Amino acid sequence: MQAVLYISHGSRVEKARQEATTFLQTVSERVKAPLQEICFLELAEPDIAKGVSNLVNKGATKIAMIPVLLLSAGHYYKDIPNEIKKAKQQYPSVTFTYGEPIGVQDKVIDILVERILEKKVAPLSNASILLVGRGSYMPESARAIEEIARRLKNKIEVCDVRVCYLAACEPSFPDAIEASVNEDWSQIYVVPYLWFTGLLMRSVQDKINQLERADQEIIICDYLNDHPYMIEALTDRVHEALALNNEHVLIK
């Protein structure tokens, strides 16, 4: 019996866990698989091992493992595959397939444009956009954020779009926002490239609160969350994983 296991990142923040769960329940309603479960990489329960066991106990013989991740990084290349290998050792008769993260997609970049425009503060000619990525030690993650920034600049009329990160990469968000403030842009749009809320979003807001000036607008935009394009993008990834043929099975 075919099953789907959604693997979200997890958070200590209850609102973040609830956002992820609600989002994934919406996606699951669009997926025609008889068994579907939600689990978390860390900081929340159930974990991946429990998610797999729940599905196997319900009769799953094929499980599509769906990373609820924006970009390819350490979790995608190391942590989740390690858990799949453990699951395969425990359940050798079960077939596991592995989906892909969302990646760089124009429809997701369109959400960023919408998040900027929905603030109802028209970008001025002397405005800067600071795209805030989570950050990773994997270089391709930083390259993806740079590409997203490039495409975002093509979609919205501002003279400056730059990137920064909340961990692992440079420039850091605190350094980048301070530099932008000191450059005297009339407006600074802070655009988080994050799926759900959490401690990282709180750290962004806390830093901005320290820097606000009467003569300069710092406009923090909403994260991606449950935008219909995100629901569509993850649903597509699930369908792709379900369609994988045997030669693409992660572990046979």
Domain spans, the chain? 2-102+227-248, 106-220
d(CA 30, CA 32): 7
Looking at residue 22, its pLDDT comes to: 98
Task: Give the contacts of 160 (CB within 8 A, at least 6 positions apart).
Answer: 127, 128, 129, 185
Looking at residue 8, its pLDDT comes to: 97
Looking at residue 250, its pLDDT comes to: 45
Over the stretch 130-185, which tens digit does the pLDDT of each residue have? 999 999 989 999 999 999 999 999 999 888 999 999 999 999 999 999 999 999 89
Looking at residue 252, its pLDDT comes to: 36
Looking at residue 186, its pLDDT comes to: 87
Select from 3.40.50.1400, 3.30.420.40, 3.30.9.10, 1.10.760.10 the CATH code of 106-220.
Answer: 3.40.50.1400
Phi first, then psi: what are they for 124, rounded to 5°? Answer: -85, 170
Give first-to-last CA distance, the chain, whole Å. Answer: 17
Looking at residue 184, its pLDDT comes to: 81
Looking at residue 249, its pLDDT comes to: 42
Looking at residue 248, its pLDDT comes to: 41
Q: How far is CA 6 from CA 24, 51, 120, 124, in A?
A: 7, 9, 35, 41
Q: Token match 């979790």: residue?
A: 75
Looking at residue 247, its pLDDT comes to: 37
pTM of model > 0.75: yes
Would you say 52 and 7 are in contact if contact means Cβ atoms under 8 Å apart? no
CATH of domain 2-102+227-248: 3.40.50.1400
- Residue ranges, the chain, pLDDT below 70: 245-252
Domains 2-102+227-248 and 106-220 share a fold: yes
What is residue 89's three-state secondary structure? Answer: helix
Task: Give the contacts of 181 (CB within 8 A, at least 6 positions apart).
Answer: 188, 211, 213, 216, 218
d(CA 131, CA 201): 13
